[in-house]
Structure 1
Amino acid sequence: MRPRRFPHLPVFALATAALLLAGCASGPIKRVSEPTASIQQLSVGADGQWTVDLRLQNFSNVPMRFDQVALTLRTGDEAAGELKASPALTIGPESVDTLSIKLTPSAPARLLIAGTLADRRSLSYRLEGTINAAAEDRKPREYDIKRESALSPVPGLPGVMR
């Protein structure tokens, strides 16, 4: 009778299969990344009020609930005002949603944007503050936001910048 070449092969195959199945049981890794905020659109009303469409971006691979937004808006070198909201908005994984916030701008910011719109120029802005957000099964966390960008007048839409 000849000796078997690989007497432990069935045990090895069974152990390998068990390890593979155990690795699959944990599922995908949940990655929570810092969200960002930017202005998607700023509309100046006839009464001087601004409507700021704030773009909230979730870079995580899990849904996140955005509970509070507290951002200071500066246009050019002028403090325009505070963007505050409690949206309780859930944004899907690696997705974006917008939040409209009414703002009564400061007088210097109001004059600055009026001149910018009249001259059809772009306007730099800066957002600084915090966003309070939580992944689906975690405690809310405060994220610091610092964002600089620019808005330009939209042709054919008076008082609107994107």
Structure 2
Amino acid sequence: MRLLRWITPIFLLGLALAACGPAKKSVYPPNISIQQLVVLPGGQWRLTVRIQNNSYGEMDFKSLDGQLQIANLVPIRLHSTFALDIPTLAGDVIQLDVLPTAAMTDALKVIAGKGSSGSLAYRVSGSTSAKPEEEDKPRNFDFNGNDWISPVPGIANTYR
């Protein structure tokens, strides 16, 4: 009887410890924003798009598919495929060339002469494909962000 009293708690403790494994790292959607916009000589825009990994593990980003809306104008498509490994709680950038609408180009011209006091609201939304560190397959993460761009003083055709 005494032996049974000791074996049962030890057995239960062993089961509890066996169920413990390494903790799974938390995965959260990334933040996407425009770090810089440069107006190229042909009228295209070169966007430096920042991808901020908000997860507690490395993420292997594969693609981005979404849209960019300047002010309340008609949005344009953002799309790119790439291979970008972003460490835990860090960010990195990709570059995208896009063709803006005439209304978007006019909106930038309006704030260009105002220097850093001029600003224009923008919105990015869509999804990005990424493979979290502890997973086998990539999955899609939705993003939706709002911010402002302003002309960079002393650097023509550049906005941040």
For the aligned pair, the TM-score class normalised by the smaller chain equals: 0.7 to 0.9
Indicate conservation of the 8 Å contact 2:65/2:77, yes or no. Answer: yes
Partners of 2:152 and 2:22 in 1: CA distance:
46
Indicate conservation of the 8 Å contact 1:42/1:51, yes or no. Answer: yes
Q: Structure 2: which amino acid aligns with 1:122?
A: S
Runs of 4+ in 1 over 6 A off after TM superposition: none
Structure 2: unaligned runs, 5 residues or longer: 1-5
* % identical aligned pairs: 30
- 93-102 vs 119-128, which deviates more? 119-128
Indicate conservation of the 8 Å contact 2:32/2:145, yes or no. Answer: yes
Indicate conservation of the 8 Å contact 1:80/1:109, yes or no. Answer: no
Superposition deviation, residue 26 in structure 1: 3.1
Cα 1:80–1:159 change in 2 (3 A) is farther
- Taking structure 2 as the reference length, what is the TM-score of the superposition? 0.82
Indicate conservation of the 8 Å contact 1:132/1:141, yes or no. Answer: yes
Structure 1: unaligned runs, 5 residues or longer: 1-10
Matched, 1:129 2:126: yes
The number of residue pairs the alignment matches comes to 150
- Taking structure 1 as the reference length, what is the TM-score of the superposition? 0.81
Residue 77 of structure 1: aligned partner: 72
Matched, 1:39 2:34: yes
Residue 144 of structure 1: aligned partner: 142
RMSD: 2.5
**Alignment partner for residue 26 of structure 1, among 21, 26, 32?**
21
**Alignment partner for residue 53 of structure 1, among 43, 48, 57?**
48
Question: Considering only CA atoms, is the larger Rg found in Structure 1 or Structure 2?
Answer: 1
Partners of 2:69 and 2:83 in 1: CA distance:
25
